[in-house]
Structure 1
Amino acid sequence: MNDPIPLFGFTTNLLELASFVLSVITVALNIRQLHWAWLFSIVSSGLYAAVFFDARLYGDMGLQFVFILVSVWGWFNWLRGDDAQERLQVTRLNTPDRRSSLGATLLAFVLLAWFLKTYTDTDVPYADGFLTAGSLLGQVLLSRKKLENWHVWIVVDVLYVGLYIYKGLMLTALLYAIFVIMAIMGLRAWSKTCPQ
């Protein structure tokens, strides 16, 4: 699955290509608020863990395993609903939740960057740590159907495009450029269903 394949003027492999396709399906289903997105997320995250291991993006690799766990939790939340057993609705974060989310993300960034710099051979510990922490925030917010998840994904995905170009993962860079567009679409779609 790691044999190089030429595609649109750059080189990829079947593993990255399969991860790409499943990831696009995941986000498209998330935009439509369909719970099947979580199944595709689990499979694509498992495949991307292998892609990122090969690229020495260990924060992103570890993030994929967290994504699998959070996807199971998100699937459960979307099917079960809220504490009143009602279908989970799109809502906004309140001010205290915004502050705690930002604080937790900054702490995760510091810890991840330190760990990656100290214990791995990655050449991008700060970028990998920052984007991993931001992705964790985005995934948790998505699991709880918080509108702000799309804001987080727009920022994170734009920055990931640059990181993946730097690492030579051109198909994945293209995927994250597509994710930026899809996140904007998701923000628009979810804003229509979110109470002011």
Structure 2
Amino acid sequence: MHFFDIHNIFFKVLNYPLSYLEFFGVLSGLIAVWLSAKANILSWPVGIVNVSLSFFLYYQVQLYPDMFLQIFFFVTNILGWWRWANPRPGEEDKKLELRVSFLERKQFIIVCLIGVTGTVAVGATASRLHEWLPMIFALPSAFPYADSFILVMSIVTTFFMIQKKVECWIIWIIVDVLATYLYFVKDIMFYSIMYAVFTVMASFGLWNWIREYKLWKQSAV
């Protein structure tokens, strides 16, 4: 378990001690998101590696909602891998994988409502974990509501990513900007940089998925 200790330093960058855990978590995360932006099915197995490493990191910096989120991501990476590889009849693209599509407006409004109510509920719970389970959570949750917003919206948009909905990238951009700030404040500098890069990748993913949708529409005519 020494590899998973955030104090086990791999090397230093500008006097910032970078652990093995943070380095390989960032590396696998960047690769997974880049593959997602390219609509490459290999993003899912690489994502499994990333969330496994991130689980241990978030626990050690008291970002408990983010820690629990990795369990969800582990399961959904498996589901997403299967869903993209096994589209229903009529959902295929030229690679015989699930094609890109858009959400209905009603679905997007529901997403916004879930984001607000879910953040309040999960944030209230996260802020009390150190009181309810002091043997597991010795320190209070850091930024419970901001962290909970990341958790709730990441869950929602992951389901849309599994279905290859274009709007998932809009939500990811918002989540990534907030996460960049949050991890900077918590002094997980390389994770903060990673999420800044994620923001750029998500912008590319939004553009690329819209382009793929238009190309499919043209070929379907």
TM > 0.5 fold call: yes
1:170 maps to a residue whose letter is: M
Query: How high is the TM-score relative to the length of structure 2?
Result: 0.84
Of 102-111 and 52-61, more deviation after overlay is shown by 102-111
Q: 2:112 aligns with which of 91, 102, 121?
A: 102
Q: 1:82 aligns with which of 85, 88, 99?
A: 88
Q: 1:55 aligns with which of 58, 61, 82?
A: 61
Give the aligned partner of residue 36 of structure 1: 42
Cα distance, 1:137 vs. partner?
Answer: 2.0
> What secondary structure sits across from 1:112 in the alignment?
helix
> What secondary structure sits across from 2:88 in the alignment?
coil
Instruction: State the superposition RMSD in angstroms.
Output: 1.6
Q: Percent identity?
A: 27
Q: 1:114 aligns with which of 124, 133, 155?
A: 124
> What secondary structure sits across from 2:128 in the alignment?
helix
Cα distance, 1:84 vs. partner?
Answer: 4.8
Q: 2:73 aligns with which of 58, 64, 67?
A: 67
Contact 2:153 2:175 in 1 (8 A): yes
1:32 maps to a residue whose letter is: K
Query: Using the alignment, how far apart are the partners of 1:82 and 1:175 within structure 2?
Result: 34
Query: How high is the TM-score relative to the length of structure 1?
Result: 0.94
Change (3 A) 1:85 1:141: closer
Change (3 A) 1:146 1:8: farther
Query: Using the alignment, how far apart are the partners of 2:173 and 2:88 within structure 1?
Result: 26
Of 63-72 and 102-111, more deviation after overlay is shown by 102-111
Give the aligned partner of residue 179 of structure 1: 198
Of 91-100 and 162-171, more deviation after overlay is shown by 91-100
Q: 2:33 aligns with which of 7, 27, 35?
A: 27
Give the aligned partner of residue 208 of structure 2: 189
1:112 maps to a residue whose letter is: V
Task: Indicate yes or no: 2:17 matched with 1:11.
Answer: yes
How many pairs were matched up?
196
1:73 maps to a residue whose letter is: L
Q: Where does structure 2 lack aligned partners over 5 or more consecutive residues?
A: 131-139
Contact 2:101 2:164 in 1 (8 A): yes
Query: Using the alignment, how far apart are the partners of 1:129 and 1:104 within structure 2?
Result: 12
Q: Where does structure 1 lack aligned partners over 5 or more consecutive residues?
A: none
